[in-house]
Structure 1
Amino acid sequence: MAETEPEAAEARSFLSCAAEVARLLGLGNATDVPEARRARHLAHAARIPLLERPALPEEFFGPLLAAAVYDPDPSFCRWFVEPAVYAYGRRRVMSALLDCLRTGTATERAGAERAWYCAHVPLRADRSPAYAPGGHRDPAVDESRDLVDEWRRALQRSST
C-alpha cells in the first residue's frame, strides 16, 4: 500500500525529532539504516542512554517532547516521555503536552494524547536516586492534579 502524503510528512517529522535526540546524545545519524526504519532505530539507540543519565541538560527537553509527540507508535513514545518525566518533572512534561493539545496541529494533538498517557509512568527508585530511600526531589515538580483537570477541559473543548 502506498504511503499517503500526510503519513510521509509525519514519518519525516518523527525521523527529524529522533535524529535530534540521537545527535544530542552523540549517537550519530544511522545513515546506514534504511530511511523507513531509521527513526525507530535512532529511538531504540537513545532509549537506554536516556534512562541511564541521572540528569539531562535543558537542551534535551524540547527534542524529547517533540519526539514523543511525533512518534506514531503509542507503545514507543514512552521512550521519550519517561526520561523527560524523571529529568524535568511530571508537571513540566504534562504542562508542555497540555500546551500542545491546546495549540498544536491535529497530528500534534493526537501525539500529545498518546504521550499524555505515558506521562503517568510510576516514579521508581531504580530509575532515579531522587526516589530512592533518603533521596530528595521537590514534590512540586511532580504535582499534576490541577493539570489533569485542565487536560480534561481542553479535551472536551476540542471534541465539541
Structure 2
Amino acid sequence: MSEGDGYEASTRTFLACAAEVARLLELEAAADVPEDRRARHLAAAARRPLLESASLPEEFFDPLMAAAVYDPDPSFCRWFVEPALYAFGRRRVMTALLGYLRTGTTAEIAGARRAWYCAHLPLRVDRSPAYAPSGSRDPALDEVDDVVDQWLESSSPQQRDRKASARHNRA
C-alpha cells in the first residue's frame, strides 16, 4: 500500500467515526457535501451540540475517542476530545488514549499522541454545562497522575529508563 492509499484509508475511517458521532446526535448525513470534505463538515456540525450538552450518554464515549484518534488534523481532534473531557472526565479520556497507545495500530498510536495533547486542555466552568450548577465537579474525574506516569512509561524507552533510574536513586 502506498502512502497515498494509507492516507485515503485513514480519511475513510475518520469519515466513518465522524458519521457515527453525527448519527448519535441525530444530525443530517451531509450527503450533499463532497466526500473529501464530509468528515470535517460532520465534525464541525457536531462540535457545538457536543459542548452544549450537560451530559452525554455512555454510547458516545467510544465513538468520540475513535473520532479523536482517527482525526488526521491535530488542530481539530480537540472537537472530540474536549466534550469527552467535560462529559466523562480527564481520567477516562486519558485512559482510553493510553489503551490506543499500548495496543493500537501505527495510525492509532499516532492519533492517540495527537489527541493526548488535547486531553490536557484546561476545563472551564463557563465552557460547558457539564459542570454542576455550583461550578464544581467530582475531582476523581480528573485525577490523572498515575495515567500520565503510565503514558510516559509506555510512550518512550527514554522515559522508562529515566523513571527507573530515578527510582533506583531514591532506593
TM-score range, shorter chain: over 0.9
**Moved >6 Å (runs of 4+):** none
The correspondence of residues 31-110 of structure 1 with structure 2, limited to 5 A, is 31-110=31-110
How many pairs align? 159
Q: Taking structure 1 as reference, are residues 123 and 6 closer, same or farther at Cα in structure 2, changes over 3 Å only?
A: same
Deviation, structure 1 residue 5: 1.0
Partner in structure 1 of residue 135 of structure 2 = 135
Rg (Cα) greater in structure: 2
Could you say what secondary structure the match of 1:126 adopts? helix
Distance in 2 between residues matched to 1:68 and 1:97, nearest whole Å:
9
Instruction: Give how far 1:138 is off.
Output: 1.3
CA contact (8 A) 1:129 1:135 kept: no
Instruction: Specify the alignment match of 1:118 in structure 2.
Output: 118
Which residue identity is paired with 2:149? D
Cα pair 1:56 1:87 within 8 Å, conserved: yes
TM-score by length of 1: 0.93
2:86–2:131 CA contact under 8 A, matched in 1: no
Shift of 1:136: 3.5
* Comparing 34-43 and 126-135, the one that deviates more: 126-135
Deviation, 1:135, is: 3.2
**Deviation larger for 118-127 or 77-86:** 118-127
Alignment CA distance shift 1:58-1:78 (3 Å): same
Structure-2-length-normalised TM-score: 0.87
Give the 3-state SS of the residue equivalent to 1:5 in structure 2: helix
1:29-86 Cα deviation digits (max 9, x unpaired): 1010000000000000000010001100000000000000000000000000000000
For residues 84 and 43 of structure 2, what CA distance do their matches in structure 1 show?
14
CA distance in 1, matches of 2:61, 2:135: 23
Residue 126 of structure 1 contacts residue 132 of structure 1 at CA under 8 Å; is this kept in 2?
no
Secondary structure of 2:54's aligned partner: coil
Q: Secondary structure at the match of 1:33?
A: coil
Distance 1:37 1:46 in 2: 14
**Which stretch shifts more, 3-12 or 43-52?**
3-12
CA distance in 2, matches of 1:14, 1:130: 26
Structure 1 residue 96 displacement after superposition? 0.3
| Offset at residue 137 of structure 1 (A) | 1.7
Question: Are the aligned partners of 1:91 and 1:141 in contact in 2 as well (CA < 8 Å)?
Answer: yes
Task: Write the deviation string for residues 94-142 of structure 1: whole angstroms up to 9, x where unpaired.
Answer: 0000010000000000000000000011010112346578334210110
Q: 1:12 to 1:129 in 2, by over 3 A?
A: closer
Mark the runs of 5 or more structure 1 residues left unpaired by the alignment: none
* 2:28 maps to 1:28: yes
Whether the 8 Å contact between 1:55 and 1:87 is mirrored in structure 2 is yes
